[in-house]
Chains A and B, each alone.
Chain A
Amino acid sequence: MRVRFAKRGRVRFLSHRDVARTFERALRRAEVPMAYSAGFSPHPRISWVGAAPTAAASEAEYVEFALATAVDPGWLRASLDAALPGGLDVVDAVVAGGGGLAERIDASRWRVRLPTVAEPALSAAVTALLGREEVEVERATKDGRRRFDVRSAVVSAVGRAENDTCAILELVARHTTPAVRPDDVLTALDVVAGLRPSAPPEPTRLEQGRLLDDGTLADPLAPDRNDAGRPVGCSSA
């Protein structure tokens, strides 16, 4: 079973571990018949695909479950959504068809609200960034501080105005290692143009999927939906 869910409002402050724990409990409360791993301490078989960072909201997070017995995707969507706290909202549930989910996702589309930033300043910084071949930034990761290039991950970036004192950065970024996050792009805008928002940015992931030639993203669940008509149930994960 493959599920798309959103992370909205205050639950954006959940870390990936918090999200994972909350899902496991919600699955138990909803009495979803999970398949468990073999071994000394069996775990429900859940695989996560590219979690959004803590404090980022998302409309497009993906998770895959292996079930012990088949259930109706509509039932799963509704009962899991009811068991999850408000803000963690199940958007879609489909029976997994052939092929891995992770292979269908190589980029994200983001919308980053920048309160206190004016659009012309953002657009100028974006132009400066796109004009560069490479922009290195540094970030603390769990393996210590790392330097990496941001520019090569940025597929497209556009500055827009929400109003005079709030700009919006529309961003499409490839999934790279280490992952380039909206924060890293903002750091890069600081490096190239000295853009420093005085209020925390508010990033929301709008889409994930495979990057198409026209710069849009393909819905990663579409192939599974096209497989509809296959017997309901799933044991792949």
Chain B
Amino acid sequence: MSGQSLFARLEPLLPRVRRPVQYVGGEGNSIVKPWASAAVRWCLMYPDAYEVGLPNQGLQILYEILNEQPDVLAERTYSVWPDLEALLREHGLPQFTVDAHRAVGDFDLFGVSFSTELGYTNLLTALDLAGIPLHARDRGDGSPIVVAGGHAAFNPEPIADFVDAVVLGDGEQAVLGICDVVRAWKAEGAPGGRGELLARLARRRLVYVPAFFDVSYRPDGRIAAVTPNRDDICARPGKHTLSDLDSWPYPKAPLVPLAETVHERMSVEIFRGCTRGCRFCQAGMITRPVRERNIETVGAMVDAGLRATGFNEVGLLSLSSADHTEIGRIATGLADRYEDSRISLSLPSTRVDAFNVTLANEFSRNGRRSGLTFAPEGGSERLRRVINKMVSAEDLVRTVSTAYAHGWRQVKLYFMCGLPTETDQDVLEIADLAREVIRAGRRASGQRDIRATVSIGGFVPKPHTPFQWAAQASHEVTDARLKLLRDTVRADREIARAVGFRYHDGRPGIIEGLLARGDRRVGAVIERVWREGGRFDGWNEHFSFPRWETACAAELEPLGVSLDWYTTREREEREVLPWDHLDAGLDRDWLWADWQEALRENELDDCRWTPCYDCGVCPTMGTDTQIGPTGRSLLPVVGVSAGARSGDAASAAQASTARAAGAPGAPGAAAAGGAGAGGAVDVPPVVGSGTPA
């Protein structure tokens, strides 16, 4: 029978695997609904290990939104490790959900969220274990509709054979639209089978259906054209954009795992999108425009989320968190609110400027000041102009000096290697920057014992960015440059002991590059790698470069293309790129012009505080930048301090009540707006910074 729990059969296997707790479910705020109560049933997957997948915000948001619908149920599944995979196969058990341990194959829809291309082989494992035919064309009406989403799905062509449909962009409204279509189609008795359902979804512009498009190739291996093979669908499927994030305050009750996971904190997305315009950054390009949540929503989400979870850390997420127009007041307001409550605050993804040190100080008022991370990305000023990451060496040194002067002892610097136009000299300038940082730290702190960590990742050109035409540096070049840099730092007695180095070899980046900019011909490579044992390719201990190389040779070279052809080859302006028929809103001519500007080493300002530069997103998608400041304020809450129940902790509760005196305490009553703000929470004006307040 459909929807039955498999737990009784699974349980005897669990004592035999590593960390069985990851398969038992039962997380705080998880939801199990009766199978029969739902008209539409989703299984959501993050195709990596539970410890990585569970904290994923995207999946948690969709899980909650879907389960709020009275006649929809959503459960989750994650990749099982090879030890359990072997046991499942031995005992004839399928891929299962962790919520109610139901078979994935029983659901109507199987939604898979890809943050990284290296999860593609794990998709195949899950499909195969679920008993779902690997190829979409082989699936019958009994199989779930396999839907891909997430950032990597902006070029789903390498997995086009394995998925039925793809959602581009924000999923919140898209999944509800899909529910409507599936619900109606099922109520009618599923007319026309899955083909008709997919056609309805495509006609409603909810999804891209790869099977409705044909790809033809030129004799030289390049794509000739990608054309729809039916005339009732949009020839250029577009992305979904959620407007008004304040109306969608998800997740409201985040999952609290029983097992240990990589992020255990209450994460609140303070804005979506970024128009800083870093040319390497796919996330910044495909999530435009910037849409902020206002200070009041952020404050309410933090409060509700902490109460619902018991987490003791808050992370304010976005692509560049210090750019929020109300960030200074949010930081001070939250720091005030949680001063007595042992809740720690963090602000991942911030830029290099002194203002951010001020923010970091607020966020660590009582706590330890261990490490601050900055991401100049490019080693030389010239290269930073190429990538449009406008940070000068002086900015960095000034910022780092401020940090060390405020008691921070460890600075991490992130760079990329293999960027377009990069030379050995650009990379060697990372050593110069590191030297300046160490010197500044020694001056500011008066101590010799200062540490900086330099982390370096290999650059991978991504679709829908100005660098989508660029040649990726070969792993030999990347590795040689990094060795040169390392030797240079090691030979410099002034800093050799003070600078720690972190980098990975360049080979996984080449495969990421293949999958990121690949076309449908790459699907055969993925399948071969998977058949030969490829699993968990994002994990060093599981990744095998030779396995990928061999599969590329076998599957691509007979077609006149190769691993190098997909990665280290620069594309011409007019070459049809595999994702050109998918609309992220970005104007292709603008992307090309910006690529040319990069080669001319010209910078481009952020459209939030300079005139629009016509990237194309707002007019194409009918959207607008939504930023503050709103003049609203952080609503005070009562009784959040640890032990607020009684006794000596009462003073803390009273203090926050006192601050609340100017404004009614109930959430939603903040409409008093700017007028009530001053009395409600004591917030100094934002000072310094490159952000216009």
Contact = CB atoms under 8 A, between A and B. Distances in A.
A200 B642 CA distance: 42
Contacts of A21: 260, 264
Interface residues of A, number: 36
B309 interface: yes
A10 interface: yes
A87 B27 CA distance: 12
B221 interface: no
A22 B258 contact: yes
A17 B258 CA distance: 10
A126 interface: no
B645 A71 contact: yes
A33 to B, nearest CB: 3
Interface string B2-34: 000001000110111001110111111000000
Interface string B310-334: 1110000000000000000000000
A141 interface: no
Given A10-B26, A25-B309, A26-B310, A68 B259 contact: no
Instruction: Please indicate which of the listed interface residues B27, B256, B308, B311 has the most CB atoms of chain A within 10 Å of its own CB.
Output: B256
A176 interface: no
Contacts of B342: 36, 42
A25 B260 contact: no
Given A34-B643, A69-B649, A200 B12 contact: yes
Contact of A10 (B12, B25, B312): B25
B12 A31 contact: no
Given A28-B312, A83-B310, A85-B26, A33 B259 contact: no
A13 B310 contact: no
Contacts of B16: 200
A18 interface: yes
Contacts of A25: 28, 256, 309-312
B15 A69 contact: no
Interface string A11-50: 1011101100110111111011110100011100000000
Nearest to A19: B258
Contacts of B307: 29
A143 B564 CA distance: 47
The secondary structure that dominates the B interface is: loop
Q: How large is the interface on B (under 10, 10 to 19, 20 to 34, 35 or more residues)?
A: 35 or more
Contacts of B643: 31-34, 68-69
B642 A85 contact: no
Given A85-B26, A85-B28, A68 B647 contact: yes
B644 A11 contact: no
A236 B397 CA distance: 50
B14 A55 contact: yes
B258 A85 contact: yes
Contacts of A178: none
Given A11-B26, A199-B12, A28 B310 contact: yes
B86 to A, nearest CB: 16
A33 B647 contact: yes
A139 to B, nearest CB: 15
A29 B310 contact: yes
B138 interface: no
A86 interface: yes
A41 B329 CA distance: 26
A69 B646 contact: yes
Nearest to B256: A25
A87 B645 contact: no
B645 A200 contact: no
A54 interface: yes
A13 B21 CA distance: 5
A80 B21 CA distance: 21
A17 B256 contact: no
Nearest to A29: B310
Contacts of B308: 29
Nearest to B21: A13
B26 A69 contact: no
B642 A34 contact: yes
A87 B368 contact: no
Interface string B472-493: 0000000000000000000000
Given A11-B26, A42-B342, A69-B643, A54 B310 contact: no
B83 interface: no
Contacts of B90: none
B231 interface: no
Contacts of A11: 24, 26, 258
A26 B308 CA distance: 10
Given A10-B24, A10-B25, A85-B26, A33 B649 contact: yes
A71 B645 CA distance: 9
A42 B648 CA distance: 17
Contacts of A10: 7, 11, 24-26
A31 B646 CA distance: 10
A14 B21 contact: yes
Given A34-B643, A200-B12, A68 B311 contact: no
Interface in A1-16: 10-11, 13-15
Interface in A63-100: 68-71, 83, 85-87
Contact of A69 (B19, B256, B312, B645): B645
Contacts of B28: 25, 85
Interface in B33-72: none
Given A18-B258, A25-B312, A31-B643, 19 more contacts: A11-B24, A15-B19, A18-B21, A22-B258, A25-B309, A28-B310, A28-B642, A29-B307, A31-B644, A31-B645, A33-B645, A41-B367, A54-B20, A55-B14, A68-B648, A68-B649, A69-B643, A115-B12, A200-B15
24 contacts: A10-B11, A10-B25, A11-B24, A15-B19, A15-B21, A18-B259, A25-B310, A25-B311, A29-B307, A31-B639, A31-B644, A32-B643, A32-B645, A34-B642, A55-B15, A55-B20, A68-B647, A70-B647, A71-B645, A71-B646, A83-B310, A85-B27, A85-B258, A200-B12
Instruction: Please give me the 10 A-B residue pairs with the lowest Cβ-Cβ distance, nearest first.
Output: A33-B643, A69-B647, A25-B310, A29-B310, A28-B310, A10-B24, A200-B15, A13-B20, A13-B21, A55-B15
Interface of B: 7, 11-12, 14-16, 19-21, 23-28, 256, 258-260, 264, 307-312, 342, 367-368, 639, 642-649
